[in-house]
Structure 1
Amino acid sequence: MKKNSSKKFWYFVGIGAMLIILMMIVASVMQVGEHLKGVHEYAPYVFYALAFILVYLLIIRPILIILFSPSFSIGTTLDKNPKREHRVYKRVAKRILEQEDLPEGMRTNINESMHDPYKLRDALNNVYNKHLKRKLNKTIRSHAKTVMVSTAISQNGRLDFITVIVVNIKMIKEIVVLCGFRPSYRNLAKLVVNVFVTALVAEGLENINLNDILPTSTMKMLGEIPLIKPIMSSVIEGVSNALLTLRNGIVTRKY
């Protein structure tokens, strides 16, 4: 009973966080559209159409890919009775076989083990430990770098918010595609909350005041160096957002 209550709680929280994210993005789009009315009467409608296409491609479509992937946990590859998971193993194996850079030995091993749940379990476990983990780590680092550079350069809090949302969703989608499966809905809801909080932090960091985090003596010393304060502020923003993105990626990999 408690387990079901916990699931429902995370479902509601995850859906609520996603709705808030979409509402904030829509509000930003509407605000820009209002400003475009002074340019041309049809300019807002063109902008809304482009915004809808971008939202679909960058947010909605990746989410659909995640949701329609088979649910699976790396922990189940160690299941003592893999027969009950054999059907899921096969779905995951077929997705992994679609990867062009999969080593030929691993590809052959999976194909030969397809009809034996025990051998297939071991084959998948071998792929995850010796091939996928390295690719997952590379993917996570790559997206963290993207967030760091983008938010460090950007001087707009809402743009940072949207950037973090888009990059984190893309990262989670790529992790799901690489693994061939998605986390459970409850864990997905937790990830949505993590991404939402990360985006809110990114937006809030835009108003960071170095005087609040650095000693007065340090600020006086830095004040003598031209342009150092805005550069330091941007670096802190970028690094902070990158670390939070790394955390989201590691949590996703764990799920």
Structure 2
Amino acid sequence: MKREIRRVLTITAFAVSALILIVIVNQLIQFANFLGGIHPVFGQVSLILFLIVAAVAVLAPVWLYFKLPGRLIPPETDEGAEFDRYIENLSKRLGGNPIVKMDQVSGVDDVREAIHVLDKESDKSIKRTANRAFITTAISQNGALDALFILGLQFRLIWEIAHIYAQRPTIKDLSYLYTNVMVTAFIASSIDEAEYYEIVESSMSQGIGSVLSFVPGTTMVINSVITGSSNAFLTLRVGKVAQQYCGTLVKRRRQSIRNSATAEAAKMLAGIVYDGTKIVVKHIGKAPLRLASKPFRRGKKEE
């Protein structure tokens, strides 16, 4: 069944790509004909240049796909020849990573130290993306657009983390990472609903307890913070799952990764809720003042 679905999707992807390519080439030819109406030389030169650009755009990804190295698959255990080969290959990849900044990466200890450096760097990306998810969705309060925005943020976060751990991941690397992260992060049974609400409630009580006392219209703020906290937590969790897939030395069970990512995301959530709530409160607090001052601003413009 999976093979048939994969085959159908592959054929569909090739068919759609071919149609898009035909449309692009057709538009380029029409534009070249338009330039040819001005002067025949313009038309011929532009057509050749357009076709070269189109060929490069199609062939460059294929060339990169075969040029870049394949993904490194962690072994089952941290002992034996397979683990030693993996550490050796991983050492070479980490040694060429500009974020690591180590003179030489050799052996398990150096690899762990290098991964620790990459963990810190990826944590910055995870927190930055979660903060953006919290503030944007807490202020926006638009379900459909927020869902698309969060999905885009999370895919970009996975891309950033993949680049942090592997300087130039291949298409295989990214497809493997996206598939595993999205399946692991969004599986329905991965986190119990009661546990989820408990995490968000705990983070909210730590993050907004001292902030809300200064704000009128507390209900509006709480609703905004609930929405922002939910999306921030999911984003943190996706980032932590991606981090663990990229930085592991041995294969880990999906359930173990989910549980660990949930626990780490919960620890990071309180700080993000606290910082984000201050910004949300600031915007909501200014809104009535801006509305009240509108008539006066209009009067000044009319004068």
Q: Could you state the TM-score of these two structures normalised by the residue count of structure 1?
A: 0.48
Higher RCO by CA contacts (8 Å cutoff, separation 6 or greater): 1
State which structure, 1 or 2, has the greater radius of gyration over its C-alpha atoms: 2
